[in-house]
Structures are given as C-alpha cells and as structure tokens.
Chain A
Amino acid sequence: MSRAAAVCWIGVALALVAYCALNLRVGTDLTRFIPDGEQSELARISGQLAQSPFTRTMVLSISADALPVAIDAAGRLAAALRESPDVEWVRSGVDEDQLRDVYDLYFPRRFYFLSDDPEREIPVRLSEEGLREQARALKAQLASPASSLLTRIAPADPISSFRTIVERFRQRERTLELHAGQWVTPDGRHAILLLSTRASAFESGPQARLLETIDAHFARIAAELGGGLELESNGANRFAVAAEQSIKADVYRIAAASLLGVAALFVVFLGGWRGFLVVSVPPLAGILVATSAGLALLGGLDGLTMAFGASLMGIAIDYSNHVLIHQRLARGPVTPQETVRRLRPSLTLGAATTVASFGGLAITAFPAFREMSFFAAVGVVTGLVVSLVLLPRLLGFAPELPARSSRVAAWLGGVLRALERAPRPLLWLPLMMLPLAAVPLASLEWSDDMSKLTRFPGELMDEARRVRERFAAVDSSQFAIGTAPDAQSAVELNDRIHALLRQSVADGALEGYSSLHRLLWSEQLQRRNRAVIDADPDLYARVDAAFAAEGFRPGAFAPFAEALSEPPPPPLTLADLRASPLSDFLAPFVIPVGDRLAVVTYLNGLRDRSRVEQRLHGLDGVHVLDQRTFVNQIYTEFRANTLEQMVVGAGLVLLLLVLRYRAWRPVAAAFLPSVAVAVLLLAGFALAGVKPNLLHAMSLIMVMGMGVDYGVFLVDSAPDAEAADATMLSLLMSCLTTVFVFGTLAISSQPSLRSIGVTTGLGIALSYVLAPIMLAAVGVVRLPSRDA
C-alpha cells in the first residue's frame, strides 16, 4: 500500500474514532424495547421511576451495645455525611427547621386541609358535640408538660386543623420512634438514618465512592466510641455497585483466559500477534463505522445494541481469517488480490446472509430491533468491504503460517474426505435427531425475569432484607400512576386516586400507600373546605360557647375569629411547594413525562391487584404498575419477537441461498447446520432444565449467522481439495476464537454473561462439527483428493 493510501485510511479511522469519542453516549432506554406508540408513555414513566428519589435513597441502620451509643453514632455519622458532595440530604428524625417550614406553609392555610369530604365531615366536626369533644381533647393536652406549643397555636386554631395536617405528615413515620429527636426502631435496638444520593443509584463511580465514604466515617466513629457498633444498610446503589464489582472481577478473569487462549491460538496457527492484528482490522472497522453511522443517523445507540453489535464482529473476523489462511496456504505464487477475488463470492454471500438474518428486525415496530438491524448491516458490510479492499494490502504484515498449520489443515481436510466416504445414514443422524428434539422443545420454558440475570452475594441480600424489615420502607416497585396535562389537573387526578385507594385499603385489597395527598390537595378541594367554614357565620360564636362550656375562658379564641374574618390566602399549589424548602418531599410523587405530568402513588402490600385496578378503572390515564412485572413483560415480548424475527431471518437467508445456488444440495449444506444448531441447543437446554432468556435468544442469532457462513465457505471451497483444507482450518480458527472470546463467558458468576457464553461456546462448536457432516451428508460434490 502506498504511503498516501495508508495515511488516508488512518486519517479516516482517526476521524471516526474522534467523532465517536465526542458523541458516544451509551444508555439503556426502556422505551426502545416496546413497539412504537404502545404503552410508550408508561415505559417512559417506568424508566424515570427507576431514577426516582426513592431509588436514590439509602437506609442506614446503626446498632450498638447500648441505644444511646447507637444514637450518638447516628448523629455523628449524619453530620459527617452531610458534608459529602455525593450526598443530597440526610435525615435522622424530626428536623426542627422542617417543622418550621411546615408551619410557615400550612398554618395560614390550615382551614383548607380539614377533610377529603368537607361537605360531610366538617359539619360533624363543627357540630355542638364535635366542638365540645375537641374542647375536652384540647384541655387534656394542655395538662401535659408540652403544652407550651399548644397555648401558642390553639387561640387561632381551636379546631386543631393544623394538628390534623401534622398528623397526616407523621403517618409516614409511624413505623419508627423518636428518641431525643433520632429515629429508632420500635424494638429500641437500631438508630435509623435516611440518606439521598446526588447521583443516580446506577452510576457506579459516585456510588462506589459514597459507599467507601460511609464505611470510612463509620469506622472512625466506631473507634471514637470504643467499638461495639454495627452498620447495616439498604439501597439500590449497593446492588448496582455489587453487580458492577462482580462483573468487573469476572471480566478480568475471563479476559485473561480469553487473551491467553486467543494469543495461543494465533501463535500456534498464525505465527504470532501480527496475524491477529491484521485480521482484526475489518471487524474493528465495522464497529467504528457502524457506531459513527448510528450516532450520526439515529442520534444515539442503546447499550444493548452496542453489546450485540460488538458480538457480531465475531462474524466479521471470520472473513479476514478466511482470506488470510487461504492466502497463506495457497500453493504457488498467488497474490492476496487473487485470493480475495476467488473468495469474493463466498464472503459476499456470507455477509449477505448475515445481513438477511437481521432483515426481519429492520421492519418491526421495535426501535431497538431496528437499531440492531442497522448496526449489524452497516458493521458487517463494512467488515466485508474492508476485507475485500484493504485487507489484501495488509496481508504482507502478517507472518507466514507455521508448518503445523499446513499439517493441521491437511488433516482436517482428510477428516472431511473421510466423512464423505462414511455411510449416508450415519451422516444424516444429526438431522434425524431434529424431529426427536421437538419432544423436549415442547417443554422448553423461557425465563423472562430480568432480575435473575444478575446474581448478588447472599450476605448483601440478607442485610438488605433485615434493614427493610426494620424500616418498613416504601415499596418502590408498585405504583398507581396518573398523567394529566398540567399541574392543577394532575393534583385533582391525584385527589381522585387517593379517594379510591383509601377504599381499597378499607376493603383489604391494599395495605397502604404513600401519596402526594399527604402534602397537597387540589385547589378545588381546598376551596371546598374553606367554603364549608365560611358558610357558617356563627362558627366563632359556637366555638366560643362550646369551649367555654368545657372550661375555656370566653373570648380566649379571639385570634380564631380574626383568622376567619381575614381574607383567606390563596390555596397551596404545586408551584408553591416546589418553591418551598419542602420541595424535596415532592419529588417522588410528581414526575414530568414529556409535556404532561405524572402523579405517582407508591403502593404497599398490594394484595389484590385486580380489585385495585377495577377501582381505578374509571379514571382516564391511570394505571397500576408493578415495575418488575412491567419490565419483565416488555422483555418477554421482546424475547418472543426476537425468536419470531429469527425465523423470518432464517427464511430470508434461505431465499438468498436458493438464489445463489439454485440447487437443493448446496442450499441444504449451507443452511441445515445453523437450523440444527438452534434446535439442538434449545432441546439441550430443555433436557438440562435450563430456562433460556433473552440473552440466549440473541446469542443464538449470532451463532446461526456464523453457522450459515461455515456452510457457505465449505460449499464454495468443496470442489478444490487445497481450498477445502484451508477452509477447514479457517473455520477451526474462527470456532476457537469465538469460543475463547465469547465462550469463556460461560465461567462467569453472573447468569447474564453465562447465558451468552454457554450459547455461543456450545453453538459455535456444534456449528463447526455439523457443517462438514452436512456437506458430506447431502453430497454436494464428490470431494477430490489432495493429489487430484
């Protein structure tokens, strides 16, 4: 290659690398895995709920030999963590500042929040008997040593409307007690802190840093207090960091095994690393161009697409491998360009069938499928083009193959010829097993529970369960969600949701719920409350009389009369809350979704989902969402469509093969190995009791693509003994490379990586075994001997 051409190629490559580096943002958007327009809004909300403040909340539980020590430790830890840049806030109990904020915001509006059913309940509350009962209750409270606060508020609020608001706020904290202002579990053994992180729970860098910070502070505090302290915690971030650490540990282990295996392979068969570098150019070019095109034309790429696309490069490397080995094993002076010209039809058909196998994905309603199809097509075609155009010019850098390579190639060719002489029924045995495989296949069960794809340490799960039980944390995976076009209608919708869920709690379908209703009612409901108060012009006089009858001084509640006669403040709005110091409390309950607002109610102890759904059925735009079930349903549908597209893709591949070969024997020889691998693998899973998942299905697509390539390369090289030998060696190289690169994932501790490894490793090995057997079975051509 001339220097100018080399500089040109390198320049283009560097430009693409720079473009990708500057623009690449890989993420996973759930909405890409559901059909366009269908439940997309719910999927968007679901995705945002995964980032909601509840998922960023950690619960820290501190225990010691004596509770005062635990409380002391909790106070010190809270103070230390408040200084951390990774921490949004820390709560250890009732905050005096928050009480003041609640007072400032709600006391002037205390008459707006008396009752959810003001026309019915307020008259009862303000009846003669109701007022006298409140007077007696107030008098009893005044007898307590803590009456100083009451004596300040009661003159302006004898009907305890502000106390009603505070009680509504305190409902959340009923599961914990307060000791000297510090939350403590009811058994009095653990001090509890709540902490919110700034970063998403799934950003492993900041979260790992924060977990280290917590541990370091706690160790210091424990030493200061003389030891005997224990810290346990629960939070989504702990699981995210644990998963990443586990996967990283796996990756290092697997990468080492992979690297050693691939290195050994290339040293043994290709004479060194230079050969590996040369054959890596086309697949790397494919990834680079596909990524650049994806960013430029699609605006971004999903993480799963990138992972899937990278695995497809295992196919692209076969092309360059095939060229290199054929070139090096060719007898006589054959230029790389001549080798490529000879192999062009095979390589082109191989690439075309790979692209065709993804063709079905391109026309589905799933954005993720379309993206994968695009990435695969661009990547594979680029790999092919680079193999045909650039690779011949690079082959000079690759060393000559060692002598053993020729010997192995010859031996493998001998095996192929021996197979051709074997009895046909024996050769057809694998295919005859396919109908038998239908039996276990019928009992094959798929696993669509995404939570099973990641394994967490048992101690972490136990610790999380213990802390959850202590704190009775809000279940952040089950919700009632309603969307509305603006803030006012969103809060009104929330009022209606609250009213119906209250009935669900009453009839036992639901244990409880946490709702925006604790903080805010619709302006309409607030005004209704005030209207009932204002419609009673004698209210003050009746209060005065009723309270006087219970021993209060006549005229003691003059401030109440003033409050009633003053123009009322405007009702509390969402904007008011957002602008107040209490805005943190608002965040979990109101989520913007596009140009709409979603109000989220967190459901606890959902016992009868269908009954709750029935109650909410009449409300437009309201859904009951179980996050785990919803996500699993999405992936179930996606997995099912993957399998359907696999069949569609296989049909397109078959069509291409028919168009190319126009005879049944070569078509069968090329096509049957991939079909047999898929059926036998799935039947094997069924027999072994393995429940395959989405990752098994997607790995199967890759394996089937490679299986077709093996068939095509063998069919095309069968008439020439030397070519057949070279092909058998190149396929062996391809098979072993795939086993080392992907198959080693089977040793991972993570189920997700194991799925890919087992499917790929077993599948590609089966493909290599079945391809020559099928070639011999269908008798494509009588293979000439090497001496012919």
Chain B
Amino acid sequence: MKSAAACADSGRADRGRGRAVAWLAAGLLALAPGAPGAEPEPPTLAELMRGMASSQGVTTRFHETKRIALLAAPLESRGVMYFAPPDRLARFTFEPARSSLVIDGDRLVFREDDGERYDLSTNPMARAFVDNFIVLFNGDLERLEALYRTELTGEREGWTLRLEPRAATLRAVIEDVTLRGDTGGIREMTIRNVDGDATDTQLETTAQRAFSAAELERLFDEQRPLPDALHATGAP
C-alpha cells in the first residue's frame, strides 16, 4: 500500500502530495544546519492510519506463509488482494491451489477450487483476518482501537504496530497481530494464534487505483468461476 508520499510520487492524490511535501519538509528541516543532532520523530498511530487510508482502491500481490504445528514445513501460498472502499475485499489465491475469500460488507465467503462454498461471516478467525486489512486500508483508527489494544514502535522508515484483540471471542483464537511497514506502507502482517500457529502475509507489489464498475462486478461476483491466473485479475 502506498503512503501519502508515494501517492504524491504518482501524482494522483492532492492529499497525498501535500502530505509528502510535509514529510519532505520535515525531513529537510531535520537535516538542516541549525538543528544539529535532531532525531527523526516516530510516527503516531493517527499519522500512520491517515497515511494508510486509501480513498480509491488497492491492489496488492501477497505471499503468505502459514506455520501450522501439523505441517512439517510452512504452507506457502501466493495470490492477489483487492480492496474497494469502504468494505469490500477480494483475496484470490493461485498457489498452491485456487481459492477465493470475498468480503462484501458483513458477508464473508470462502470458495474452493472444486466449487465448495463456505459462509465464514461468523467465523472469528476469518473475520479478524479480513477486518484487519479493511480497517487499515480505510485508515479507520477508531475501529482499530475498538478491536485491538495497540502498540506502535519504531520510526517512519521502519515501524511495528502490535495489536492485541480486545474481544474474548477473538482472544480465544488470536494471540496478537503484528504489522510491519515503512514509509511505503504496510509490508507485512503476522497473525499469531493462541495454539502457536502463525500466518505471515507479505504484501509485495501494491498499487492504489480506483476500480471500474465492470471490474467490481468481476471481482465480487460469487457466481463467477475462480480466475485461472494472476494476470486474469488485472493485478499489478
């Protein structure tokens, strides 16, 4: 996901451009003579969330590693994720097998390659997994703090946000969620389960763009067959 500075680079959002200028200015000031020994200020959570907010849409490739006690080696998968504000997220996995996880408001549906479909709307683990992305992509600080206790450490060039679930139902399954990022945005999310299993999602190429109505229909239509390959999704 692009930060405000990245948005300014792409010349898309005035808001992002302004923010980048502000950050650049702050950076220059910090290096300017007359301010010897000035330490870069760590980001606040509010700034971080503002920076992560996307008013258009997000497309990102991901590489996920699941460490499950049952498995001898981590389970790796690759795919692409799409976020359309304010509450739609589609996650397509292509390796090792095709599947999709589509969130549309309150509805959360997981589809397997063989056509089996599962409503996970009330599944706490699945809900938490997608809520995290939606809350972050929306920059919804209020919602984030309602769901989790937050602890932000590090600097703008490399920060770590640790989230501890507040709700008992979620705490029974999830130990914590750790987000790592830099000025470019979120780079990694790690969910640690209470039973010791963990899921690490690396966000690779990320682009911010609006989706057309046709694209939205294609992405969020549960009846359409799963896309065959990465390129079919229009991923960056």
Contacts and interface: CB of A to CB of B under 8 A. Distances in A.
Interface stretch (B20-28, B52-60, B65-73): B65-73
A320 B190 CA distance: 98
A68 B122 CA distance: 15
Interface in B103-144: 105-108, 110, 112-113, 117-126, 129-130
Contacts of B105: 68
Contact of B129 (A71, A140, A145): A145
A167 to B, nearest CB: 10
A551 B73 contact: yes
B72 A552 contact: yes
B93 interface: yes
A181 B69 contact: no
Given A142-B68, A144-B99, A177 B125 contact: no
A88 to B, nearest CB: 24
Interface residues of A, number: 30
B29 interface: no
Contacts of A614: none
A361 to B, nearest CB: 61
A726 interface: no
Interface string B62-89: 0000101111110101000000000000
A551 B122 contact: no
Interface in A534-571: 548, 551-554, 556-557
B45 interface: no
Q: Which interface residue of B69, B77, B121, B130 has the most chain A CB atoms within 10 A?
A: B121
B8 interface: no
A154 interface: yes
Interface of A: 68, 71, 94, 96, 139-140, 142-149, 151-152, 154-155, 177-181, 548, 551-554, 556-557
B70 A552 contact: yes
B160 to A, nearest CB: 23
B72 A180 contact: no
Contacts of B129: 145
A139 B72 contact: no
B195 interface: yes
B71 A145 contact: no
Nearest to B106: A180
22 contacts: A68-B106, A140-B96, A140-B113, A142-B66, A143-B66, A143-B75, A144-B110, A145-B101, A145-B125, A146-B120, A148-B193, A148-B195, A151-B68, A151-B70, A151-B193, A178-B119, A180-B108, A180-B119, A180-B122, A551-B71, A553-B69, A556-B71
A151 B99 contact: no
B119 A553 contact: no
Given A146-B118, A178-B121, A551-B71, A151 B197 contact: yes
Contacts of B66: 142-143, 147
B126 A146 contact: yes
A144 B101 contact: yes
A179 B72 contact: no
A181 B107 CA distance: 9
Contact of B121 (A154, A179, A548, A553): A179
A181 B195 contact: no
Nearest to B93: A143
Contacts of B130: 145
Q: Which interface residue of B72, B99, B129, B130 has the most chain A CB atoms within 10 A?
A: B72
Interface residues of B, number: 37
B31 interface: no
A67 B176 CA distance: 34
A188 to B, nearest CB: 9
B10 to A, nearest CB: 31
Given A143-B97, A552-B70, A553-B71, 20 more contacts: A68-B105, A71-B106, A96-B122, A140-B112, A142-B75, A144-B112, A148-B123, A148-B125, A148-B173, A148-B195, A148-B197, A149-B123, A151-B69, A152-B195, A154-B70, A179-B106, A180-B122, A551-B75, A556-B69, A557-B70
B119 A181 contact: yes
Contacts, number: 98
A52 B212 CA distance: 53
A584 B118 CA distance: 25
Q: What 4 pairs across the A-B complex have the smallest Cβ distances?
A: A178-B119, A180-B121, A148-B125, A145-B126
A140 B97 contact: yes
A371 to B, nearest CB: 56
Contacts of A556: 69-71
B75 A139 contact: yes
Contacts of A553: 69-72
Contacts of A71: 106
A179 B107 contact: yes
Interface in B182-236: 193, 195, 197
Contacts of B195: 148, 151-152
Interface in B121-173: 121-126, 129-130, 173
A145 B120 contact: yes
Q: Which interface residue of A71, A148, A149 has the most chain B CB atoms within 10 A?
A: A148
A146 B75 contact: no
A554 B70 contact: no
A151 B194 CA distance: 12
Contact of B77 (A143, A154, A155, A177): A143
A139 B96 CA distance: 10
B70 A142 contact: yes
A586 B72 CA distance: 43
Nearest to B118: A146
Q: Which interface residue of B77, B107, B108, B195 has the most chain A CB atoms within 10 A?
A: B107
B208 to A, nearest CB: 24
Contacts of B69: 151, 553, 556
A179 to B, nearest CB: 5
A142 B76 CA distance: 11
Nearest to B64: A143
Q: Which interface residue of B71, B105, B118, B122 has the most chain A CB atoms within 10 A?
A: B71
Nearest to B172: A148
Given A151-B195, A151-B197, A552 B93 contact: no
Contacts of B118: 144, 146
B68 A177 contact: no
Nearest to A179: B107
B91 to A, nearest CB: 8
B75 A145 contact: no
A147 to B, nearest CB: 7
A180 B107 contact: yes
Contacts of B72: 548, 551-554
B87 to A, nearest CB: 11
Contacts of A179: 106-107, 119, 121
A547 B129 CA distance: 27
A343 to B, nearest CB: 82
A144 B77 CA distance: 10
Nearest to A148: B125
